[in-house]
Amino acid sequence: MPSADHKLNTLGLLCPLPLLFAVRDMASLEPGQILEIIGDDPGLYEDIPAWCERAGHRLLGFEEDEGVIQCWVEKGDIAEDDGEANAEQPGDSETT
């Protein structure tokens, strides 16, 4: 698998903590950089792909060895807030 720019160890943590820490750590990376997430929560297999799809990141792959799961995510170009930065917020529109 690719060389990571940042590694996140979530061993022993259960959902939603691995994903929350991944979101936090991804915010410090530049587009194109790679975050490696290491954990043992099987929920990673569902949570990480769904997050990547919503947030515009690219899942590079998973590996598992003796219950330890590793995955690699390349940071995408869109905002870390799952692409909602440009969404209209209540009260933002002007009424005429």
Query: Residue 60 is part of which domain span?
Result: 6-74
Residue 88 inside a domain? The answer is: no
Of 50, 43, 48, give the one whose Cα is nearest residue 61. 48
* Residues annotated catalytic, as ranges: 15
**Amino acid of residue 40:** D
What ranges make up the beta strands (E) of 1-95?
Answer: 6-9, 34-39, 58-65, 68-74
Strand bridging mode 58-65 / 68-74 = antiparallel
Task: Check residue 59 and give its pLDDT.
Answer: 98
Give the number of other CB atoms < 10 A from CB of residue 83.
Answer: 13
Tally the domains of the chain: 1
Residue 93 inside a domain? The answer is: no
CATH code where residue 70 lies: 3.30.110.40
pLDDT tens across the length of the chain (96 residues): 789 999 999 999 999 999 999 999 999 999 999 999 999 999 999 999 999 999 999 999 999 999 999 999 999 997 544 443 443 444 554 544
Residue 85 inside a domain? The answer is: no
Residue 96 inside a domain? The answer is: no
Residue 36 inside a domain? The answer is: yes
What residue has token string 């698998």? 1
96's tokens: 């005429």
65 DSSP β-pair partners: 68
Q: CA-based angle 27:35:10, to the nearest 5?
A: 95
